Chain A
Amino acid sequence: MQNILNDLPGALAIAIVDISSGMTLASHSNSTINPETAAAYNTEVVKQKQKAMQALKLQGESIEDILITLTNQLHLIKLVDDSKKFIYLVVNSRDTNLAIAREVLRSQNDLLK
C-alpha cells in the first residue's frame, strides 16, 4: 500500500478491503474520510452489483473496477485477488486524473496476489 501512496501522494484515503466481511485489511487517510466507514458501504455496492450480474446471467464476466465520480472527488474500487478483495482509493479530481489513478492501482494489483 505504501507503493500506492508513493505514486499518488495526493490520495485522500486508501484501503484494502475484504469483500466477505467488509472490513479493512489496511488503510490510510490523509483527510477526514474514514476508510473503515467507506469500506463498509463500498462492500455493499460491490455485492449489489454482483447480485445484479447474477440476475443477468452474464457468462464469463466479472467486475474489474467501479469508479464513483463526485463533484470534486473520484472514488475508485478496484477488485483484486479473484474478487475477494478490493483496493479503495479516493483522490481529488483536480489533482489526479482518472487514467493515472487507475494505472497506479493496476500496476500495484500484482502485489496483492
Chain B
Amino acid sequence: MGLFSNLPFLKRNAPEPAPAPAAEEPLAAPAAEPVPAPEPVAPVAATTPAPELAAPATPLAAPEISSQSRAQAEEIVRGVVAELPDFITVAVVASATGQILAGQWAGHSGGAVEVATAHAEIVHQVRQAIEALQLAPAEQLEDIVINLRRQLHLLQVLPQQGWLLYLAIRTQDTNLALARTVLRQHAT
C-alpha cells in the first residue's frame, strides 16, 4: 500500500514555514504553527518531478531542504514580488510534500501551512487524474488558475525542481495574462 493510496495526504506532512527572507519590507514571518510530529515521507529528488506514486520500503525522515534550494526558492519569490508588488501571497512549495521553501505574505500568514499542503494535494489529484484519464505522458500539468470573486490564485509548476510557485493577488491589482507571464518565467 503506497503512502498516496489514501487521501490523508494531509496527515503525513508537518511542513514548517520557511524563515522570512531578510526583509527589505516589513513583512511578518509566518506564525510558528503548532504542528504534529512529522510523519515519515519519501525523500524527494530535487532534480526530477516528484515521484508521487512511489511508496517507501521503510519509514524515512522528512526530507531536509538544502540551503542552496532555499536560496533558489527565495530568489524566485523575490523575482515575483518585484514584478507584482501588490501581491497577497507569493510562495514556493515542494509539490510532493507541501513544504514551504520560501514565501512572502502581505499581512498575516495565518493558514499558510494548510494552504500550501492543500495546494500540493490539488496538484497531486490533478496528476492522478491525468494518469487515470490516460493523458500521460503527452499531457503534463503546467499551471492551475483559480478565480475567486476578487482574487486570483495561481499555481505554476516548476518542473525542474519539483516545486510549485503560488501567487495570490487581488484581481484589481493585476490581470491574468500578466500574472501568468510573470510566473511562467520561473518555469524554465
CA distance A55 to B33 in the complex (A): 13
Instruction: Indicate whether A68 sits within 8 Å of B151 (C-beta atoms), given known contacts A48-B118, A48-B121.
Output: no
User: Contact residue range for chain A?
Assistant: 20 to 34
Instruction: Indicate whether A66 sits within 8 Å of B144 (C-beta atoms), given known contacts A44-B125, A45-B126.
Output: yes
Q: Which of B3-32 contact A (CB under 8 A)?
A: 7
Chain A binding surface SS class: mixed
Counting CB contacts under 8 A, is B45 at the interface? no
B128 to chain A: which residues have CB within 8 Å? 41
B135 to chain A: which residues have CB within 8 Å? 33, 70, 73
Contact B142 A33 (CB under 8 A): no
Contact A64 B149 (CB under 8 A): yes
Measured between C-beta atoms, what is the minimum distance from B6 to chain A in Å? 12
Instruction: Indicate whether A62 sits within 8 Å of B146 (C-beta atoms), given known contacts A33-B133, A45-B126.
Output: no
A-B contact count (CB 8 A): 95
CA distance A57 to B142 in the complex (A): 28
Counting CB contacts under 8 A, is A26 at the interface? no
Q: Which of A58-78 contact B (CB under 8 A)?
A: 58, 60-73
Contact A61 B133 (CB under 8 A): no
Closest to A13 in B: B133
Counting CB contacts under 8 A, is A111 at the interface? no
Counting CB contacts under 8 A, is B115 at the interface? yes
A41 to chain B: which residues have CB within 8 Å? 125-126, 128-129, 132
B141 to chain A: which residues have CB within 8 Å? 68-70
**Residue total for B at the interface (Cβ-Cβ under 8 A):** 32
CA distance A82 to B23 in the complex (A): 41
Contact B129 A34 (CB under 8 A): no
Q: A60-B149, A64-B147 are in contact. List 16 more A-B contacts (CB 8 A).
A: A38-B129, A41-B132, A44-B125, A49-B146, A51-B118, A52-B114, A52-B119, A56-B115, A60-B150, A63-B146, A65-B146, A66-B145, A69-B145, A70-B130, A70-B135, A70-B139
A-B contact pairs, 20 of them (CB 8 A): A41-B128, A45-B125, A45-B126, A48-B119, A48-B121, A49-B122, A51-B114, A52-B111, A52-B115, A56-B115, A57-B110, A61-B148, A61-B149, A64-B148, A65-B147, A66-B145, A67-B146, A68-B141, A69-B145, A71-B140
Which 9 A-B residue pairings sit nearest by Cβ, starting from the closest?
A: A41-B129, A52-B118, A55-B114, A55-B111, A70-B139, A67-B145, A69-B142, A64-B147, A56-B111
A residues whose Cβ falls under 8 Å from a Cβ of B: 32-34, 37-38, 41-42, 44-45, 48-49, 51-53, 55-58, 60-73
